Amino acid sequence: MPALLPLIPSEPFYSFTTTLAEVEYLIDVRWNTRESAWYFDISTADGEMLRAGNRFLINSFAPNRSAHADMPAGVFVTQDSSGEEVEAAFGDLGVRVVCYFYTYAEWAAAIA
């Protein structure tokens, strides 16, 4: 079962830890006012940056394109739960717009 990221609506910058593919990670989430867009960075639990500047985009998936061996093996998938396919505004992330992490096996089963 994919992991639902515990996103907080209307909070411009926050961090949380979560378990992805059986490993704990630190996720930093931030609102970019200039672009009116949400971004996230992923680090190891002890704070070593693995990949920065991932944008939450509806119906897109962010595969592990990092050469870092500690990056979680899987993909992040952002979805509009309303079905309207509209990008997340400031108050939408974690409410209307959600993000799941799928292991590669879960992702292969989901798209099959």
Render 65-98 in DSSP notation, one character per residue: ----TTS-SEEEEEEETTSS-----TTTBTTTEE
2 burial via Cβ count (<10 Å: 0-12, 13-18, 19+): middle
Count of domains for the chain: 1
Q: Find out whether 72 and 61 touch, Cβ atoms under 8 Å.
A: no
Q: Give the pLDDT of residue 60.
A: 80
- Cα(97)–Cα(111) distance, rounded to whole angstroms? 20
Q: Give the pLDDT of residue 87.
A: 95
Q: Are strands 61-63 and 74-80 parallel, antiparallel or unpaired?
A: antiparallel
Q: Give the pLDDT of residue 65.
A: 59
Confidence of residue 62 (pLDDT cuts 50, 70, 90): low
Tell me what the mean pLDDT of segment 19-40 comes to: 96
- Checking if the pLDDT of 64 tops 70, the result is no
Q: What is the pLDDT of residues 38-48, one digit of tens each?
A: 999 999 999 99
Q: What is the pTM of this model?
A: 0.90
Domain limits at 75?
Answer: 3-111
Confidence of residue 67 (pLDDT cuts 50, 70, 90): low
